[in-house]
Amino acid sequence: MDPKFWIARWEQGQTGWHLPEVNPQLRRWWARLGLAAPGRVFVPLCGASLDLGWLAGRGHEVVGCELAPTAVARCFAEAGLEPAVAAAGALRRWRAGRLEILEGDFFRLDPETLGAVEAVYDRAALVAFPPAMRAHYVAHLRRLAPRAPQLLVTLDYPQEEMEGPPFAVPEAEVRARYAGCTVERLADEDVLEAQPRFRARGLTRLREQAFLIRP
Ligand SMILES: C[S@@+](CC[C@H](N)C(=O)[O-])C[C@H]1O[C@@H](n2cnc3c(N)ncnc32)[C@H](O)[C@@H]1O
């Protein structure tokens, strides 16, 4: 997707993916990664997710990457934090306490700027991209965090019933894109009833899945 698409969504407040609570799959499965605090967690395409604060609250150092400055600013404001902002390679680093967000394009983030990370949490990042870009996304993520276990939360539905984003990412695709890793499906839930905005867009089936991926 064109970066302008996402910036406009944030500026116009069209952020239907943003949850008013911590993601239940994160709460439920995080312990399965077995990562002790302050193990550093990377959250690609983090938006203004409350999940960042939840991870930081568990003692982790958290580093997100997000294109939209509106989202980054909102994240710190909602956490009651006043970040220091500095250039970081092709991006800008906002930091306060245990929370850091690299503002800019994920594809321009390099491993040196990101630094070492011990786990990855992807909710609504892989599914934000159309198929061709998903290949680049996973390849780049695997370069940035080659040894980090990952909690991945995806959506699957009949792609012909709705245009993304979010895009449908079937389990077989997750397994193919993370070939060479151990992929364990943790959850596979029917969420159509709980998502009237997607029913209204014509979906007849919608499943949320969670995976634990170990390189
Ligand atoms: C569907 S939202 C998910 C946000 C968050 N993970 C959540 O669960 O609320 C996708 C986010 O990725 C951001 N984004 C899209 N393309 C990006 C890119 N190339 N680099 C960094 N962020 C990007 C968008 O601005 C948006 O906030």
Domains of the chain and CATH, by start: 3-12+23-214 (3.40.50.150)
Please tell me whether 108 is known to bind a ligand: no
Burial of 193 (0-12, 13-18, 19+ CB in 10 A): exposed
Q: Whose CA is nearest to atom 12 of ligand 1?
A: 45
Helices 3-11 and 69-78 sit at what angle, rounded to 10 degrees? Answer: 40
How far, in Å, from the CA of 152 to the mean position of ligand 1? 14
pTM more than 0.95: yes
Contacts 24+ apart (CB under 8 A), 104-108: 104/65, 104/67, 105/3, 105/67, 106/44, 106/45, 106/65, 106/67, 106/137, 106/140, 107/136, 107/140
Mean pLDDT of 138-146: 98
Contact 95, 83 (CB under 8 A): yes
**Any ligand 1 atom below 6 A from CB of 18:** yes
CA nearest ligand 1 atom 24, residue: 6
CB-count exposure of residue 167 (10 Å: 0-12, 13-18, 19+): buried
Above 0.90 for ipTM, yes or no?
yes
How close is the Cα of 172 to the center of ligand 1, in Å?
A: 23
pLDDT at res. 128: 98
Two structure tokens written together for 25: 């799959």
Mutate-to-test residue for ligand 1 from 5, 23, 67, highest number of ligand atoms within 8 A of CB: 67
Q: Counting atoms of ligand 1 from 1, which one is nearest the CA of 109?
A: 20
CA of 129 to the centre of ligand 1 (A): 9
Q: Identify the three-state secondary structure at position 90.
A: coil
Query: Per-residue pLDDT tens for 45-91?
Result: 999 999 999 999 999 999 999 999 999 999 999 999 999 999 999 99
What's the sign of the alpha-carbon dihedral 116, 118, 123, 128?
positive
N-term to C-term CA, the chain? 27
